Amino acid sequence: MSKKSISRKKFLAGMGLGTLFSGSLLASFPNQDRKPVSNFEKSGNFNRLLIKTGVLVVGGGPAGIGAALGAARCGAETFIVENYGFFGGVGTWMLGMSINQMRPESKPRSAVHEQVIGKLEAYGPSAAKFVKHGILCNVDYYKVSLLDALEEAGCKYLVHTKVVDTIVENNRVAGVVIATKRGLATIMADVVIDCTGDADVSYFAGADTLKDPEQVSPQTLAIRVSQVQDDGITYKHRMDSERVQKAKAKYPLIPNSWTLARIANDHSFYVNHAGTKVFGHLDITDQFVFTEAECKSRRQVVEMVEAAKEFGPPELRNIEISGTGPQIGIRESRRIKGLYILTEEDAVQGSTFDDAIAWRSGAMDIGFTRLSEMKTHDVPYRALLPEHIDGLLVAGRAISATHIGASSGKSMGNCIATGHAAGVAASLSIQQKCQPRELKAGKIQEVLRKHEVDLTRGGKSQSEDAFDNI
Ligand SMILES: Cc1cc2nc3c(=O)[nH]c(=O)nc-3n(C[C@H](O)[C@H](O)[C@H](O)COP(=O)(O)OP(=O)(O)OC[C@H]3O[C@@H](n4cnc5c(N)ncnc54)[C@H](O)[C@@H]3O)c2cc1C
C-alpha cells in the first residue's frame, strides 16, 4: 500500500468515514482528477453514487446536529452533509451569540442536548459558559465539539457538500444530488431530513412551501471586534440610538442601534444587530436578493465599526474588526407547508397537542422588531411532515409555521429538539418499514422519553429568565 493511500485512510477514519470509503462504494465514485467528459445531465443517470445510507441529514446547524444525534442514538445508519467546512449553522456564523434554550428553567431537556453541552464543556472554561438557559461559547471550540459529538454517536459526515437537487421516485424522496469537486454526485437514503433552514430539500422535491417576502425577518452579518476598553467585568456595550443618529449622515448603512457582547471568556466581543432591517425585507431565496443582502451587509459592518470608533462611547474608540461571519445569518426564509401550521396563537396560548414531539420556549423574536412573551408550546409531529411528499422530514427553523409562528421559539435549543424528534422518527420509520407520515406519534414519544425528553412542558408559562435573550 502506498504512503498516500495510508494517510488518506487515516484521514477518513478520523472523520468516521473509514469503513464507508474503504469498500465498493469508493470504487463507484470515479477517482479521477479531471472533470468527467460528460456532465451529469448528459449522462442522464445517477450512476455516480457516492453514498447509500439509512438516514440522511442535510444541513448541520442546530436542527441537523439534533437530527443526526437523535437518529444515531436509535441505531440508524446516519449520514449528515453540510455546505460549509464546519457544523453549527447560524450558531457558528454569529461568532459567539448565546445558544439559547439549552436548559430552560435550569432543567436538562434531553440526552441529545446534554451530549452537545457535554462535548463543548469538555474543552474547559475557554470554550463555554452557561448563562441562564443558554450557553455563551467560543465558536471555534464549538465547531470541534460538534465533530466530537457526531463521531461519538457513530454519525458519518461530509462537509463542503451542498445539496442542489433531489431524486424523487414515486412521490418519495429517494436521494439527493450534491455538488462536489468532481462534479455532481448522488446520495441515496431511506429517509432524508431537511435541516437546511431554508427548506431547500423540500423545495427541490416539489413540496409546497411557505414564505412571506413582504415581512421576512432581517438578516444579520455578525462582527467580532477586539480592543474594547472595558474593565474586564462588563458584558455588554451599547451603541445607542442617539449616537447612531449623529453617525448616520456619514455612515448611512448603519442600523439604528447595536450591542457588543462578550464572547465566552475571550477578550473579543461579538455584535448582534438588526442588519438588513434598514434595507427593507429581503427574500434570500432569490439569488439576486441574497447577493444584495450579503454585499450590503459587508459594507454595513465596516460602517458600523467606523461609526462606533468616531461617534461611540469612549470604550469603543479603538475597536478593531477581528472577523465577520462566513455569511449573513438568516432568521427566516422558506418553510414547509406541513400537515399542521404552527401560529402566533399557538405560541401565545401555549398550545399542546396529542402528537407533541418537542416543545419550544423563549421569546417571540422577529429580529429586533418585536420581542414579546409567549408560553412554552408543543410542536406537533405534523409540523415536521411536508404535506404531500414521502421519505422526508423537516426540522429547525423550516418547520411548518406562519411568519410569527416561525419566529416564536426559533432559539437553537428548540431547533435541536425538533431535529432530535425528526431523527428518532426517521429511524423508527426505517425499523418499521413505513413512511414517516404512517408512524404513530406515540411510538416517537416513547423513544423520546427514553432519551430524557419531558413532553409535558408545553402549555406552561415561563419564568422571567426564559425571555431574556441573554
Ligand atoms: C442574526 C440571528 C440572531 C439570532 N440570535 C439567536 C440567539 O441569540 N440565540 C439563539 O438560540 N438563536 C438565535 N437565532 C436563531 C437561531 O440561530 C436559528 O433559528 C437556528 O440556528 C436555526 O437552526 P437550523 O438548524 O434550522 O438552521 P441553520 O442554523 O440556518 O442551519 C442550517 C445549516 O444547513 C446548511 N445548509 C443550508 N442549505 C444547505 C444545502 N443546500 N446543502 C447543504 N447544507 C445546507 C447551512 O450551511 C447551515 O449550516 C438567531 C438567528 C439569527 C439569524
> Which of 295, 330, 365 finishes a domain?
330
Q: What's the Cα-to-Cα distance from 59 to each of 17, 187, 368, 395, rounded to whole Å? A: 18, 14, 26, 10
Report the separation in Å between the CA atom of 365 and the middle of ligand 1, taken as the mean of its atom positions.
14
The CATH number covering residue 121 comes to: 3.50.50.60
Closest C-alpha to ligand 1, atom 37: 196
Q: Is residue 13 part of a domain?
A: no
The DSSP code for 104 is: G
**Among 449, 438, 439, 357, which residue's Cα sits nearest to residue 400?**
357
| Dist CA 381 CA 385 (whole Å) | 7
Report the atom number in ligand 1 closest to the C-alpha of 162. 42
Q: Give the containing element (helix H, strand E) for 9.
A: helix 3-14
DSSP 33: S
Q: How far apart are CA 465 and CA 470, in angstroms?
A: 9
Let me know whether 310 and 352 are in one domain. Answer: no
Centroid of ligand 1 to alpha carbon of 242 (angstroms):
31
> What pLDDT does 415 receive?
98
* End-of-domain residue from the set 310, 330, 350: 330
Q: Tell me what percent of the chain is helix, strand and coil, each rounded to the nearest 5.
A: 35, 25, 40
Average pLDDT over residues 219-243: 82
Which residue, 277, 125, 130, 297, is CA-closest to 216? 277
Note the pLDDT of residue 30: 41
What are the grid coordinates assigned to 98, written together?
448565546
Q: How far is the CA of 340 from the centre of ligand 1 (A)?
A: 22
Asked if residue 390 lies in contact with residue 408, where contact means CB atoms within 8 angstroms, the answer is no
Q: Are residues 122 and 178 in the same domain?
A: yes
Residues with CB under 6 A from ligand 1: 58-64, 81-84, 89-91, 94, 97-100, 162-163, 195-198, 200, 220, 272, 329-331, 396-397, 410-412, 415, 469
- Tell me, yes or no, if the pTM score tops 0.85: yes
Residue 315 is part of which domain span? 219-330
Residues 455 and 433 in one domain: yes
Choose the weakest-confidence range: 121-130, 185-194, 351-360, 419-428. Answer: 121-130
Quick check: 36 pLDDT over 70?
no
Residue 443 sits in the same domain as residue 360:
yes
The answer as to whether 437 is a domain residue is yes
Q: What percent of the chain has pLDDT over 70?
A: 86
Residues 367, 301, single domain; the answer is: no
Instruction: Identify the CA nearest to 422 among candidates 88, 156, 67.
Output: 67
- Å from CA of 231 to ligand 1 middle: 33
One domain, residues 344 and 202: yes
Task: Please write the tens of the pLDDT for every residue from 263-320.
Answer: 877 788 999 899 999 999 999 999 999 999 999 999 999 999 999 999 999 889 999 9
The single-letter code of the amino acid at 176 is V
408 located within any domain: yes
Give yes or no: residues 184 and 276 share one domain.
no
Q: Which of 196, 217, 369, 394 to mutate to test the pocket of ligand 1 (most atoms within 8 A of CB)?
A: 196
Does residue 81 register a pLDDT over 70? yes
- What are the C-alpha distances in Å from 145 to residues 58, 67, 69, 124? 19, 16, 13, 11
Amino acid identity at 424: V
Q: Which of 31, 26, 20 is nearest to 156 (CA)?
A: 20
Residues 369 and 237 in one domain: no
| Structural domain contains residue 344 | yes
> Measured in angstroms, how far is the CA atom of residue 342 from the centroid of ligand 1?
19
Look at residue 177 and tell me whether its pLDDT is greater than 60: yes
- The DSSP annotation for 162-193 comes to EEEEEEEETTEEEEEEEEETTEEEEEEEEEEE
The rounded distance, in Å, linking the Cα atoms of 415 and 195 is 9
The count of other CB atoms within 10 Å of the CB of residue 159 is 15
Q: The cell 444579520 sits on which residue?
A: 220
* 16 domain-assigned: no
Going by alpha carbons, the residue nearest to atom 51 of ligand 1 is: 331
Q: Whose CA is nearest to atom 19 of ligand 1?
A: 410
CA of 415 to the centre of ligand 1 (A): 9
Q: Ligand 1, residue 81: give the atom nearest the CA.
A: 43
Which residues are CB-neighbours of 383 under 8 A, at least 6 positions away? 338, 339, 340, 341, 342, 399, 400, 401
For position 50, what pLDDT does the model report?
82
Q: What cell was used for 351?
A: 398550545
How many residues are there in the chain?
A: 470
Whether 93 contacts 412, CB under 8 Å: no
Domain count, the chain: 2
Instruction: Give me the torsion for CA of 186, 192, 198, 199, rounded to 10°.
Output: 110
Pocket residue to mutate for ligand 1, from 90, 103, 223, 397, most atoms within 8 A of Cβ: 90
Mean pLDDT in the chain? Answer: 88
Same domain, 284 and 411: no
Looking at the CA of residue 99, tell me the nearest atom of ligand 1. Answer: 11
Q: Is residue 23 part of a domain?
A: no
Residues 326 and 337 in one domain: no
Interval between CA 217 and ligand 1 midpoint (Å): 13
425 and 297 in a common domain: no
What's the 215 CA to ligand 1 centre distance in angstroms?
19
6 domain-assigned? no
Please name the residue whose Cα sits nearest to atom 50 of ligand 1.
Answer: 331
Answer with the one of 291, 308, 330 that is the final residue of a domain. Answer: 330
Q: Which atom of ligand 1 is nearest to the CA of 87?
A: 49
- Residue 107 confidence class, pLDDT cut points 50, 70, 90: very high
Instruction: Reply yes or no on whether the pLDDT at 410 is more than 60.
Output: yes
Specify whether 169 is located in the same domain as 58.
yes
